Amino acid sequence: MKRDAQSEGLRWLAQAEADRRGAQLLFEGESYHLACFIAQQVAEKVLKAFIYAQGEEFVIGHSVEALARWAAEFDAEFSVVREDVAPLDGYYIPTRYPNGLPDSIPAQVYTRKAAEETLRMADQVLETVRQKLGNEADVDSVSQKRNGQKIDG
């Protein structure tokens, strides 16, 4: 079943929102390396949400910088966002694999401060896309419809 562009964008936004909640739990549990990785994933998914909502059918890649550059083709504001969130690309692999770091492991290297900063960057792009695609209630409606829940209002 092919979805319309806006619905597909909201579907990706809903997943990014869920991932952000999960990142908060990881942060609170002091799994800072995983919170950093999920922050990168939130930014990736939310940028894909915006791009899908513009009508693109095949949105591939994991680079937040490249996805923000692509999003800027539709909305110039993403050029500014790109500069702020591009560093998240550095958290895609080394936060998960010991061979991505010399003489240590991600669980020992990534700190609370790093997790706070990556979550701040993820929140910045998340808020930008929320504003572009509609408010959080719209995202919750998509999630509730998909899960067969009754929606009030």
Gap between the Cα atoms of 94 and 101, Å rounded: 6
DSSP letter at 93 equals: S
What pLDDT is attached to residue 86? Answer: 96
* Residues in CB range of 135: below 8 A, 6 or more apart: none
**Two tokens at 31?**
């799994």
What pLDDT is attached to residue 150? Answer: 35
Kindly give the confidence (pLDDT) of every residue in the chain, 153 residues in length, as a single tens digit, with 9 standing for 90 and above: 678 999 999 999 999 999 999 999 999 999 999 999 999 999 999 999 999 999 999 999 999 999 999 999 999 999 999 999 999 999 999 999 999 888 999 999 999 999 999 999 999 999 999 999 985 434 444 444 434 443 332
Q: Which fold has domain 5-143?
A: Four Helix Bundle (Hemerythrin (Met), subunit A) (1.20.120)
Domains of the chain, residue spans: 5-143
Phi, psi (degrees; rounded to nearest 5) at 127: -65, -40
50, 16 contact by CB (below 8 A): no
Q: pTM of this prediction?
A: 0.86
What pLDDT is attached to residue 135? Answer: 54
Gap between the Cα atoms of 81 and 78, Å rounded: 5
| Residue 133 identity | L
What pLDDT is attached to residue 1? Answer: 65
DSSP letter at 4 equals: P
